[in-house]
Structure 1
Amino acid sequence: MGFGWVIPEVKNYERLTFRGNIKNFPSSTRAELMAIFTALIVMPTRSKVMIYTDSTCAIQNMKIIIKQINTREIWTKNKNPVILQMINDIVKEKRLKIICYKVKAHSGDKYNEIADSLAKIPGFIEGISNNFFEDTTISLNYNNIKDRSFIPI
Structure 2
Amino acid sequence: MADDNDVTIPVEISTDGACLGNPGPGGWGAVLRYKNHEKRISGPEPATTNNRMELTAAIKGLEAVTKRSTVILYTDSTYVRNGIMKWAAGWQANGWQTKDKKPVKNSELWRELIAQCERHDVEWRWVKGHAGDKYNEIADELATSAARTLKEPV
Give the TM bin, normalised by the shorter chain: 0.5 to 0.7
Query: Which of 125, 129, 132 matches 1:101?
Result: 125
SS in 2 for 1:89: helix
1:63 corresponds, among 78, 85, 90, to 85
> What is the Cα deviation at residue 79 of structure 1?
1.0
Q: Please say if residues 74 and 85 of structure 1, whose CA atoms lie closer than 8 Å, have aligned partners that are also in contact.
A: no
SS in structure 1 of the partner of residue 96 of structure 2: helix
Among 91, 94, 116, the alignment partner of 2:140 is: 116
Pick closer, same or farther for the CA change 1:120–1:2 going to 2, 3 Å: same
Q: Structure 2 length as normaliser, TM-score?
A: 0.66
3-state SS of 1:52 partner: strand
Unpaired runs of at least 5, structure 2: 1-25, 99-103, 150-154
The residue type equivalent to 1:53 in the other structure is: T
CA distance in 1: counterparts of 2:116 and 2:38, whole angstroms: 22
Q: Tell me, in whole angstroms, the C-alpha distance in 2 between the residues paired with 1:74 and 1:98.
A: 24
Check if 1:29 corresponds to 2:51. yes
RMSD between superposed Cα atoms in Å: 2.4
Partner SS state of residue 6, structure 1? strand
After TM superposition, give the deviation of residue 69 of structure 1 in Å.
5.2
Unpaired runs of at least 5, structure 1: 123-133, 135-153
- Candidates 42, 57, 76, aligned match of 2:97: 76
For 1:87, the equivalent position in structure 2 comes to 113
Which one scores higher on RCO, CA 8 angstroms, separation ≥ 6? Answer: 2
User: Equivalent residue for 2:29?
Assistant: 4
**Contact kept in structure 2, 1:5 and 1:115, CA below 8 Å:** yes
1:54 to 76, 86, 89: 76
Counterpart of 2:43? 20
Q: How many residues align?
A: 117
TM-score (norm 1): 0.66
Deviation at 1:5, TM superposition (A): 0.6
Identity %: 31
| TM superposition outliers: structure 1 runs of 4+ over 6 Å | none
Deviation per residue, 1:92-133 (Å, 9 max, x gap):
3x2x111111111111110000000001114xxxxxxxxxxx
Structure 2: which amino acid aligns with 1:51?
Answer: L
Alpha-carbon distance change, 68 to 35 in structure 1, aligned in 2, over 3 angstroms: same
